[in-house]
Amino acid sequence: MRDAYQDELDGLAGGLADMCGEVAAALEKATRSLLECDLQLAEEVISEDIKVDEIRAAAEEKAFALLALQAPVATDLRIVVSAIHGAGDIERMGDLALHVAQAARRRHPQPVLPEEVKPYFAEMGRVGVALALKAGEVIRTRDLAAAAELETDDDAMDDLHRHMFTVLMDRNWTHGVAAAVDVTLLARFYERYADHAVAVARRIVYVVTGRMPGPVTV
């Protein structure tokens, strides 16, 4: 019975780690669709978003079943409760990748981004994908050092997000209000995506130590 129970807990963590892989792939495709005006990639992200929703639903169902049938305590209880919250964070990451893809589809065949900001969004995409993949590894390994690294890694995304405002406020911006709105919203999507990845890592710290390493504000 105990082995079966432990397998259930491990399966719960594995499902969340798989979700991280799914949302990393979604952001990678969404970023390419944005940069390359690739409608097919945007459509793939949009149609595949349901997979993340289904994994979240399965994870929550398993977590609530464990609460009801096993009455977990201590670390086991923290695992289950953190899984419920973490599934929500990861699903939100998928939703944000979806928003990026929807922006690319909405403007197609016209580009969403002016050429001079494309390198910044390429980097935001790279950072976001790396954060999601690292969050998945943190879930699998409960590596506190790697969890702490996500906080530092997120600084790069914050710097890129702030830089977008410098670009938009520059007197040489000649692309009009609509492009400025698109850039502002898209940069925010990437920044929030990264914040949710950090929130997932913080919940793993809570699982291991019983203490949340700072407020989760996302």
Count CA within 13 A, CB hemisphere, residue 35: 17
Distance CA 47, CA 63 (A): 26
Query: What b/e string do you get for 8-47 counting C-beta neighbours within 10 Å, with b at 16 or more?
Result: bbeebbebbbbbbebbbbbbbbbbbbbbebbeebbbbbbe
Model confidence band, residue 214 (pLDDT cutoffs 50, 70, 90): low
Taking residues 114-137, what's their average pLDDT?
97
Where are the domains positioned within the chain?
2-209
- pTM for the complete prediction? 0.93
pLDDT tens for residues 4-32?
778 888 899 999 999 999 999 999 999 99
CATH of 2-209, one of 3.50.50.60, 3.10.580.10, 3.90.660.10, 1.20.58.220: 1.20.58.220
User: Is residue 214 classed as helix, strand or coil in its secondary structure?
Assistant: coil
First-to-last C-alpha distance (Å) of the chain: 37
